[in-house]
Amino acid sequence: MYPEQYRYTKEHEWVREEGGTGVIGITFHAQKELGDIVYVDLPKPGTVVERGKTFGSVESVKAVSDIYAPVSGEVIAVNRVLANAPEKLNEDPHGEAWLVRIRLSLPDELKDLLSAEDYQKYTGD
Partner 1 sequence: MIRKVRQHPTQNEPLLFESSSPGKRGYQLPELDVPQVDAREALGEGNARADIEGFPEVSEVEAIRHFTRLSTWNYAIDLGLYPLGSCTMKYNPRVNEAVARIDGLAWAHPYQPERLSQGAMEIVARLEAALAEITGMDAVTLQPAAGAHGELTGILLVRALLASRGDPRKKVLIPDSAHGTNPATAAMAGYEVINAPSNQLGMLDLAELARVVDDDVAAVMITNPNTLGVFEEQITGIASLLHSKGALVYMDGANMNALMGVARPGDFGIDVMHLNLHKTFSTPHGGGGPGCGAVAAKSQLEPFLPTPRLARNDGGWTWDYHRPQSIGRVRAFYGNFGVLVRALAYIMAHGGPGLRAVTMDAVANANYLRKRIEPYYDLPYASPSMHECVFSDERQAKNGVRTGDIAKRLIDYGFHPYTVSFPLIVHGALMIEPTETESKQELDLFAEAMIAIAQEAEENPELVRTAPHSTRIGRVDEVTAARKPIVRWRPA
Partner 2 sequence: MLDTIGVSSAEDLFAHLPPETRLRRPLDLAPGKSEYEIVEYFRARAAENANGYASFLGAGVYNHYRPVLVDTVISRGEFLTSYTPYQAEISQGTLMTIFEFQTMICQLTGMDVANASMYDGSTAAPEAAMMAMRITGRDHVAVSRAVHPEYREVLATYMRHHGHVKDDARVTEFEYDLDTGGIDFPSLERALGPNTAAVMVQSPNFFGVVEEVKRAAETAHAAGALLIVVFTEAVSLGILEPPRDADIVAGELQSFAISPSYGGPFAGVIATKEKYMRQIPGRLVGETKDTRGNRAFCLTLATREQHIRREKATSNICTNQALIALMATVFMTVYGRAGLRELAEQNLAKAHYLGGRLPLRFGGPFFNEFVARTNGRTPGAVNERLLDNKIIGGLPLDRFYPELADCMLFCATEMNRREQMDAVASVVAAAEAYAR
Residues in contact with partner 2 by the rule CB under 8 A:
38-39, 59-64
Question: 9: buried, middle or exposed (CB in 10 Å: 19+, 13-18, 0-12)?
Answer: buried
Binding segment for partner 1 among 25-33, 59-67, 70-78, 91-99 (CB under 8 A)?
A: 59-67
What, of partner 2, partner 1, none, does residue 63 touch, CB below 5 to 8 Å by kind?
partner 2
Candidate residues 87, 92, 96, 118; the one interacting with partner 1 per rule CB under 8 A:
87
- Compute the distance between CA of residue 20 and CA of residue 48 in angstroms, rounded to an integer: 15
- Compute the distance between CA of residue 102 and CA of residue 76 in angstroms, rounded to an integer: 5
Residue 52 Rama label (left phi>0; alpha psi -120 to 50; beta)? left
Candidate residues 59, 74, 96, 118; the one interacting with partner 1 per rule CB under 8 A:
59
Footprint of partner 1 on this chain (CB under 8 A)?
36, 38-39, 59-62, 86-87
